[in-house]
Structure 1
Amino acid sequence: MAWKDKLQPATFRGVPFEVESDDGSFGRRTQVHEYPQRDMPYAEDLGRATREINVTAFLIGDDYLDARDKLLEALETAGPGTLVHPWYGELKVSLKDPARVSHSIANGGMCTVQLSFVEAGELAFPSAGNSLGAKSLEAADRLQDAGSFDYVEKFDVNSKPSAVFDDAVKTFNDGCDLIDNATSNIKSILDHPMQFLKDNARTLIPDAFAMADTVFGLFKRGESVVDSITSMFGGGGASARNSDTVAALTSLSRTFSDRAATAQAVANSASTATSTVSPSRAQAATNAAALNHLFSQSMLVQAVGMTTTMDLPIYDDAVKIRNDVTAALDNESLAVSDPVYVVLQDARAAVYADVTGRLSQSARLKTITPRAIMPAIVTAYDQFEDVAREGEIVDLNKIRRPGFVPAEPIKVLSV
């Protein structure tokens, strides 16, 4: 098919005209940066340039004046319109500059029109949406408030036998010991050493409000935790340490929840007709359940806050964190009052939505096998052509001797 057979009749908004010639501009937007004392510039690509189409049109014939007026009306209509270009076909364009119409006695019975169009594009505004991270932090705050109120309602040692008070001190000290014996990652985010709290246990125990504030205030919060872990372990190892810390928090929460359930079972048995549990023993069990729930919920508040503020660069780790936190929130929900149950489930929904929404930004892991025992820096170059990613490989696989990566399957990021 000859090129003339491919030409299309030119129109704008359905008004026909003839085309004498055209030209257009296409390409990229480039910003050239030049620096003192450097011979080579840097050309920065800023994206595709706006396409411009310039057309020299003409209208001819006995009725060319009527055809001109229709074309002028189309050109003066607001908004973008459809241009059928002889060579480019159908385009959505806007008139860039006012059209110029020329008449001459020498060319009677016709007029020429200079047209300059640009592609119309689209008017796009940033889309409004909910901040899922903010919702998670709000849910964590509500959990702290509901947990504190629930604890104050249930815990009571005043005007009770000394054994009830002593049992509460023992339960509190046991909880502190459990945290103190946890991973070093947990200890790194504590605001106070556990021994300090144990030394003040007998002062804290009678004041339920002070106890709730103290337990919920065990940890540094939110971004300060993530920043402190990043400064301790560096960018490469911080992500894994954050993940390990959240895993340790959720594990501790489940342990405290189980202890609370055991104590609550004893307290509940006191209400049965055949129960031999004394009122003092029942209150001691209720206190133990309340304290363990308090510890558990403080772990969950911290875990939710960390999950929301930390980076999630690895898909597999992000999914595990999401599952660990939501499972721990579900576990704590099994034996709590209705108000606490509601905020726990709100926190669960917020964490699930927040992490799931960020999964698309996370890289997946893949398994490779180095061809021989070699340093991690060589493995990084072989895999990514980037020696700076050595620490990433060492951290992901917990390699103890980076100079000797074994010729065994290891995990690396897919990008």
Structure 2
Amino acid sequence: MSTWKGKARPTWSLRGVPVWWTENDLTAGRRIVEHKYPGQDVLGTEDMGRAPRRFTLSGELLGADVFEQQERLLKAVETKGPAKLVHPYMGEIMVVVAESGLSLRYSTKEGGMVSVRLTCVRHDQSRQAAGPTAQPATEILASRASVSLGDSFDAFIARNLRLSGLPGWVQAAAAATLDGLQALPPWTIARLASPELIAAGGPAVAAGLRALVTPTRIASVEGIDGTAPIDAVGALPFARQALTLATRAAAMAPVSLVGGTANRTLALANGAVLARGLSGFALSAAAQAAARARPESAQIAEALMGSVSSALTEAMWEADDDTYHALAQARAAVITHLTATAAGLPQRTLWTPEAPTPVMTAAHRLYGDDPAMVLRGIEDLPARNRLRHPLFPETGAPLEVLSHV
């Protein structure tokens, strides 16, 4: 037996279904676009990246159970997703079967045999579009720390809001503070009944304040459906709005009065508890939204990380021991998560085409043979740069683009 036959396997297989090998073809090359110009004897070409390797294998199914073998092969070909091809020479290769890629031929002259011809394309796993993935561990930890932060402010309000046994005007002052907090922009919030809530005591007040910082209590926030839970798309604008609310609520905390009566001091302290409590719940909501957000670029992820971590750090200056530790843990978890997120995202950068370049051509030049990034670029370039005509961007004008990951 010659050397080349000694190295070849007698069969090839797809998803474990063997076929006796007779011959195979392999085609490869580059994806070239030809530019033809009327009235000119010049042909321009443009390299659009590597073409996928295409395998064509021929073989035979043999034996008394040939039709059972045929059914197994048909099932292997029609199963969704990449398949493992064991090539006679190249060994194991992940492929996808081309449309109408399987041909079976029968002959009355050759009983007990089915001729097979299979065409498939190599599946490059490293260049596939990202699909739904498992929730990252950093996201889970950041979400848990953010929820725990809200829990710590539940306990903070229950522990520090003092209303029982005090004059009615102290409760009225707390209710007025709660009304003022509910009137804070940027949201039009579905109002709570402040006097009844205050009369119910600290735990009820904490639950009411926490409910204010949820999407279902928002009448109108840009980019957010106020009737549904926050999803990955609405998380980024919700985080920004929650940070705004946290800052404005903290600013409403009254300053302690030196030399005032005991009841007056308690009334001011209650106002500070309510303001800091709402601010803490807003920070908790912002951190939870930051954990769920899906920024499009590393710069957006880094900016979100800076905004959330700065707000949490600022709150730590006024926090007691319990809420301080919860704020610190949430801050560390959010920074860890968004740092990891930013590392896997493209960067926003500027690219200046040297000649008139249609958007489709520009996307191929920028992103090579990555089909997911090319398709994203074709949609993203006109929208990001507000091009008047996507087929004819202005020559020499820098375009904002996302770098290739």
What's the TM-score once normalised by structure 1's chain length? 0.57
> What displacement does 1:381 show?
2.8
C-alpha RMSD of matched pairs (Å): 4.0
Q: Compared with structure 1, are the counterparts of its residues 348 and 28 closer, same or farther at alpha carbon in structure 2 (3 Å cutoff)?
A: same
Partners of 1:370 and 1:379 within 8 A in 2: no
1:292 aligns with 2:275: yes
> What displacement does 1:360 show?
1.9
Paired residue type of 1:258: A
> What displacement does 1:213 show?
0.9
Aligned match for 1:156, one of 156, 159, 162: 162
Q: Compared with structure 1, are the counterparts of its residues 195 and 133 closer, same or farther at alpha carbon in structure 2 (3 Å cutoff)?
A: closer
1:194 aligns with 2:189: yes
> 1:328, 1:340 → 2: CA distance?
14
> 2:263, 2:191 → 1: CA distance?
29
Paired residue type of 2:241: A
1:29 aligns with 2:93: yes
> 1:309, 1:221 → 2: CA distance?
14
> What displacement does 1:350 show?
0.5
Match of 1:307 in 2: 290
> What displacement does 1:163 show?
2.7
> 2:336, 2:324 → 1: CA distance?
18
1:362 aligns with 2:326: no
Partners of 1:252 and 1:299 within 8 A in 2: yes
Match of 2:197 in 1: 204
Q: Secondary structure at the match of 2:276?
A: helix
Structure 1: runs of 5 or more not aligned:
1-18, 49-128, 188-192, 223-227, 233-237, 270-274
1:1-400 map, 5 Å:
23=7, 25-26=89-90, 29-31=93-95, 33-36=97-100, 43-46=120-123, 131-178=137-184, 181-182=185-186, 187=187, 194-197=189-192, 200-206=193-199, 207-220=201-214, 242-260=235-253, 263=254, 265-266=255-256, 269=257, 275-368=258-351, 380-385=359-364, 386=374, 389=377, 392-393=380-381, 396=384, 399=386
Partners of 1:147 and 1:340 within 8 A in 2: yes
Q: Secondary structure at the match of 2:191?
A: helix
Q: Secondary structure at the match of 1:313?
A: coil
> 1:359, 1:388 → 2: CA distance?
18
> 2:304, 2:263 → 1: CA distance?
41
Q: Compared with structure 1, are the counterparts of its residues 379 and 196 closer, same or farther at alpha carbon in structure 2 (3 Å cutoff)?
A: farther
> 1:37, 1:31 → 2: CA distance?
12
Q: Compared with structure 1, are the counterparts of its residues 161 and 332 closer, same or farther at alpha carbon in structure 2 (3 Å cutoff)?
A: same
Give deviations 1:188-215, integer Å, cap 9, x for gaps: xxxxx62432xx1111112221111122
Q: Compared with structure 1, are the counterparts of its residues 316 and 337 closer, same or farther at alpha carbon in structure 2 (3 Å cutoff)?
A: same
Match of 1:411 in 2: 400
> What displacement does 1:36 show?
4.9
> 2:279, 2:119 → 1: CA distance?
56
Paired residue type of 1:216: R
Partners of 2:246 and 2:282 within 8 A in 1: yes
What's the TM-score once normalised by structure 2's chain length? 0.58
Paired residue type of 1:33: V
Paired residue type of 1:254: T
> 2:124, 2:376 → 1: CA distance?
29
Paired residue type of 2:120: A
Question: Percent identity among equivalent residues?
Answer: 18
Q: Secondary structure at the match of 2:252?
A: helix
> What displacement does 1:229 show?
5.4
> 1:26, 1:151 → 2: CA distance?
68
Give deviations 1:28-53, integer Å, cap 9, x for gaps: 615352545999976232569xxxxx
Q: Secondary structure at the match of 2:294?
A: coil
> 2:309, 2:250 → 1: CA distance?
14
Which has a greater percent of helix?
1
Q: Compared with structure 1, are the counterparts of its residues 395 and 230 closer, same or farther at alpha carbon in structure 2 (3 Å cutoff)?
A: farther
Paired residue type of 1:141: V
Partners of 1:366 and 1:412 within 8 A in 2: yes
Paired residue type of 2:250: S
Partners of 1:132 and 1:350 within 8 A in 2: yes
> What displacement does 1:259 show?
2.9
> 2:139, 2:377 → 1: CA distance?
29
